[in-house]
Structure 1
């Protein structure tokens, strides 16, 4: 059974809070040095007392001031002074924060500072595939496949493309969060909706702790799933990230382990769309579906480490807090081992009408495939003058990818040998970046595959940003250009299973992208223009088979975000216009929008803040994607246009001190206006109206 009961979930949740806080309390150590007081903040009553007094309190009784002083014990070692955070990665403003987080780059000695989301705005969007831009097309239930409506946000996996449809849920080394916290940080979230038999649940938990100002570890865990409101629609998804970091004055290391798991019941969509559009079913589980026992199981294990050592080109002095302001060079190494596994199962007795071919077994399918990638990279980084200077850093590296692919084949069956396919490729890469204070920044990068697998593949790009400040508020104009030449994904050329088999020889794909964005955060304005030119595009056609378009395809996009505020009234708008010259190859809706209107006010100042509002999503009609359960791929169907249906939610969100609370009626307009054409993927209806509630709680102790 998928899902758990409400009572059990709450017991687990509060039990987790209790255990984590006990662990945090037991892990804390007394802070005794002046340096640590500067780093962590002054503690009440902490001064130059005797060390035992700091730990256990003042010693009672009358003190004899005429008593002879005891001779110092020279055999005892002085207490070790803990060094402050001296890393060249962080400037003074970042270092002064109570807590902050970042992502790491596995190809060079670099990080990106990110926000830790504890704000109330946007809290009502708990589905991961609806949190960016104008949202996604999806199968209706949490944990199932999804694809962004915005073409420029659609993932393009070059390794194990079967996982591409589940990208919104997956941890990757580039997405792992690293923390620096002056106090242990714990974050817990829980959302649930529906009756017990249709229960949908999400649990997210994170804990971060520093053992020194430069060294810390953190755990991220997510569990999502649903029993589904339609027949055979259950999902269970789990993601775990264990991460460790040390960011010292010269040496830094980031390492971790990732586990991703998807267990999805695939019903193939409903048999007749008219059961939704023309009929009102009080019990949607009575609607006939196309598959009764198909299932996809996806598992991923990833180990990774990236480390570097910096060598200053002049001797450091006591005034040099870090090497960020000195000419230096760094040498580093990164390693990533990633394993993906997928298994699809079904039986013909209940699903024989869905698939045309049964190549291996006439009665049941057990299709499994496996991919392993071992990546090694050695890189150097030169910091000519100042890390934040006009030419801040110059990067160069060389790497090797060792791929192993396995899928069932008739040859393996006849010889009883599972040999798989091995491919190796070597590449070089480099980049340069710089900035002029807060007004100008730029970077350029290149990656070229020298020989072996993916030989002559190329990635080339650059970014530039200009900022001006009016009354201390920034206005930023950014431009970006990129060009790629890519070898087709292995699985689009080689595939054999019970229902599908192909052996293709595709040409390399190429794509050139240009974008420009203007952002004015002070007035909630962002404007963007995007242009992409594709050649020899590979896609899944109307028969759900990989195909290649021999000509050019142009995809254009215009994006606008404008947030209005009138007192406590917020009117937030996100609108995207897109045009594709060949919709059969790259399908996009002409217009997509996400609107959020709410009123925000203080119930009790500095204690309880409340939002009451509506969310709406909409896109125009177009030939939206179909979805193939056997390959877990979206394909470009030409059977029916979908869209022109608004999805409206009403919500109440509150922030009570460090806790956020949500109550939401999802799909409020279900069957209110007569139109029930709520499909974003062919034959997959959205969920009916459902009440949802949840909370998110942060602890800093």
Structure 2
């Protein structure tokens, strides 16, 4: 709570300090915008230069000029530039959640900030290194690609607030300013504390971000850097015990107060902490001076250092995980230090296109501070070393065609890996565009498949798994008049997964040596009739896997019927409607709180329950207000709704929130 309050105080202070900043030269700003790259219009849901996003500033001759909403730039890691969007659309409603992005294909646990079960997977991959593990804790862990940079003509503040479950709330406070036309910084903090409805599921999370964005006066040197610190704490209870599952499903009014349902244990918690420093800077060796110039040569250096750990604490051992070396004060802690350097040479030519060559180094140190001896064999406590990688990219735009390619390969080190990715896009007309894509990847499984240590005896292993190899082809048709259709087909070999073994009935790491085939077809279409609209997202999936190691629902759908209108002489914009979510029955993955991973189970199917949400959203000037009655059908469609086996989904609840933008 103190952190959340401090974030608001800091942003209010910064806003006051910079409210009187000097004017920015419009010509200089336009020049810098061109250097940042062409904004991608398709990436913005609805960009409008609306009066509510405008502000006035005084010039030396006392003229009044209006800064357009499109002058507030958001720049991604890949240099894609979009604008601040202050409009209210149904897509904003889909993103008004803990992750602050569309969570279609995910189903959250009962408490805000716990984790999400995954209903669909995308096997496109360009990573060459294993991931850390504890993937159930990483949905809200902000990676390098999740951090944006900014360029704004005046200070900008955004405040996000949403109520949580029982005690607590969720806030995300953000502030950015250009102190000069060439230097920007931003500071943000997202904090959550939520008690939850069930026993021992409190969540407390924090994500602090600081970014800078600088361009030299001659516009030849560019620098972007960020510092991120994150701590994500969850109390763990192992889910409802078998008797409580029966009581939950009975619908008996006595058990509608969920805190009286018994759980498997009440003495454990898990925490994921991380801090990262990232630097991305470049120098234009040869730059285009005018429209007759054809060549551009850029030297770029990327450096990133990340230090993170996952820790599971339990006061006393529980038979839920089998026998333990110690019966009290159990503590499993695994750390990863990763230092990354990449040097790029980027060459652009009007005829040949854009080419990049790069070499990289990954210095990694993953593991534990103790040695485990099990059945007379010593399990190592560290995986560490250096990986050297080479790669390249190519991009060429010719008339209505857009060609892109990327590749990378590990040259030396203990982990083999390679990937190739290519895409071709074609714009048929102003409405219809199509993209075909192919991707091949070979990389080692995540670190916790290769090495894991625990105070619980059965959770100790060291595996020499093969690389997981994936091939994927995809086709994307995009049309506002027709529909957005995405079809992708993947084959996966040596897929790594967790599952309870048939002997101890405890979780182990496995590898599927057969080939999995995986087809997905996704359709998005909105139908409008006057002020009414029906927004549809439907996903069909088919998996052929003889070992049943990859389970997904065959059909997942989200349909929203809503009404939009302006009221009170256009002072208020209102949207109200009902959202229907549904997925068919399937063998839903179980959750292992010790590993913070989802594990495969093929004993019982879950799903086939509708979720209906009624919402009223409104926009007044730069403020967007959200009110939602979530899962209001829970009491009359049956108590068979689960996010994972033994982990019920959310009951009916009413929640409120706002997003407020300040322009100074």
Normalising by the smaller structure, the TM-score range is 0.7 to 0.9
| Residue in structure 1 matched with residue 301 of structure 2 by the alignment | 333
Q: Which moved more, 1:15-24 or 1:372-381?
A: 15-24
| Residue in structure 1 matched with residue 433 of structure 2 by the alignment | 476
Q: How much has 1:169 moved relative to structure 2?
A: 1.1
Higher strand share: 2
Distance 2:372 2:85 in 1: 52
CA RMSD in angstroms, aligned pairs only: 2.7
Partners of 2:578 and 2:615 within 8 A in 1: yes
Partners of 2:112 and 2:164 within 8 A in 1: no
Partners of 2:39 and 2:80 within 8 A in 1: no
Distance 1:241 1:299 in 2: 14
| Residue in structure 1 matched with residue 60 of structure 2 by the alignment | none
Partners of 1:343 and 1:367 within 8 A in 2: yes
**Structure 1's 275 and 665: CA in aligned 2 closer, same or farther, altered over 3 A?**
same
Pick the aligned partner of 2:183 from 215, 218, 235.
215
Pick the aligned partner of 1:687 from 638, 650, 659.
650
| Residue in structure 1 matched with residue 609 of structure 2 by the alignment | 645
Structure with max Cα Rg: 1
Distance 1:130 1:279 in 2: 33
The DSSP-based 3-state class of the residue aligned with 2:521 is strand
- Note the alpha carbon deviations across 1:601-653, whole angstroms, 9 max, x for none: 01134421001111121100000010101110000012311000011111100
Q: How much has 1:155 moved relative to structure 2?
A: 9.2
Pick the aligned partner of 1:305 from 276, 279, 285.
279
Partners of 1:242 and 1:257 within 8 A in 2: yes
| Residue in structure 1 matched with residue 323 of structure 2 by the alignment | 357
| 2:581 equivalent to 1:617 | yes
Count of equivalent residues:
616
**Matching of residues 443-482 of structure 1 within 5 Å:** 443-455=404-416, 457-469=417-429, 473-482=430-439
Distance 2:496 2:472 in 1: 17
Partners of 2:184 and 2:212 within 8 A in 1: yes
Distance 2:177 2:340 in 1: 29
Pick the aligned partner of 1:602 from 566, 590, 602.
566
- Note the alpha carbon deviations across 1:183-222, whole angstroms, 9 max, x for none: 111111111145xxx2352101111111222321112321
Partners of 1:539 and 1:547 within 8 A in 2: yes
- Note the alpha carbon deviations across 1:370-400, whole angstroms, 9 max, x for none: 0000011111001123xxxx64310001011
| Residue in structure 2 matched with residue 504 of structure 1 by the alignment | 463
**Structure 1's 591 and 626: CA in aligned 2 closer, same or farther, altered over 3 A?**
same
- Note the alpha carbon deviations across 1:420-461, whole angstroms, 9 max, x for none: 442111010101001125x22111111000011213x11111
Q: How much has 1:302 moved relative to structure 2?
A: 0.5
Pick the aligned partner of 1:166 from 129, 137, 152.
137
- Note the alpha carbon deviations across 1:123-167, whole angstroms, 9 max, x for none: 334224594363313322211122431211799985453342233
**Structure 1's 15 and 495: CA in aligned 2 closer, same or farther, altered over 3 A?**
closer
| Residue in structure 2 matched with residue 244 of structure 1 by the alignment | 212
**Structure 1's 549 and 86: CA in aligned 2 closer, same or farther, altered over 3 A?**
closer
| Residue in structure 1 matched with residue 445 of structure 2 by the alignment | 488
**Structure 1's 17 and 584: CA in aligned 2 closer, same or farther, altered over 3 A?**
same
- Note the alpha carbon deviations across 1:648-672, whole angstroms, 9 max, x for none: 1111000001000011111111112
Q: Which runs of 5+ in 1 are unaligned?
A: 41-82, 106-110
The DSSP-based 3-state class of the residue aligned with 2:139 is helix
Q: Which moved more, 1:524-533 or 1:153-162?
A: 153-162
| Residue in structure 1 matched with residue 32 of structure 2 by the alignment | 85
**Matching of residues 189-228 of structure 1 within 5 Å:** 189-194=160-165, 198-228=166-196
| Residue in structure 1 matched with residue 311 of structure 2 by the alignment | 343
Q: Which runs of 5+ in 2 are unaligned?
A: 42-66, 375-379, 502-506
| 2:358 equivalent to 1:394 | no
| Residue in structure 2 matched with residue 79 of structure 1 by the alignment | none
**Matching of residues 435-450 of structure 1 within 5 Å:** 435-437=397-399, 439-450=400-411
**Structure 1's 212 and 87: CA in aligned 2 closer, same or farther, altered over 3 A?**
farther
Pick the aligned partner of 1:677 from 640, 643, 647.
640
Pick the aligned partner of 1:368 from 333, 338, 351.
333
Pick the aligned partner of 1:520 from 466, 479, 504.
479
**Structure 1's 209 and 153: CA in aligned 2 closer, same or farther, altered over 3 A?**
farther
Partners of 1:650 and 1:664 within 8 A in 2: yes
Distance 1:292 1:332 in 2: 51
Partners of 1:382 and 1:394 within 8 A in 2: yes
Partners of 2:372 and 2:453 within 8 A in 1: no
Partners of 2:130 and 2:444 within 8 A in 1: no
The DSSP-based 3-state class of the residue aligned with 2:200 is coil
Pick the aligned partner of 1:146 from 98, 116, 127.
116
Alignment TM-score, normalising by the size of structure 2: 0.87
Distance 1:679 1:153 in 2: 26
**Structure 1's 661 and 370: CA in aligned 2 closer, same or farther, altered over 3 A?**
same
Pick the aligned partner of 1:659 from 623, 638, 659.
623
Q: Which moved more, 1:328-337 or 1:129-138?
A: 129-138
Partners of 1:227 and 1:234 within 8 A in 2: yes
Distance 2:581 2:100 in 1: 10
Partners of 2:7 and 2:173 within 8 A in 1: no
| Residue in structure 2 matched with residue 433 of structure 1 by the alignment | 395
Alignment TM-score, normalising by the size of structure 1: 0.83
The DSSP-based 3-state class of the residue aligned with 2:321 is coil
Q: How much has 1:12 moved relative to structure 2?
A: 6.8
Distance 1:99 1:30 in 2: 15
Distance 2:628 2:40 in 1: 38
Distance 2:580 2:140 in 1: 23
Pick the aligned partner of 1:295 from 266, 269, 292.
269
**Structure 1's 92 and 366: CA in aligned 2 closer, same or farther, altered over 3 A?**
closer
The DSSP-based 3-state class of the residue aligned with 1:491 is helix
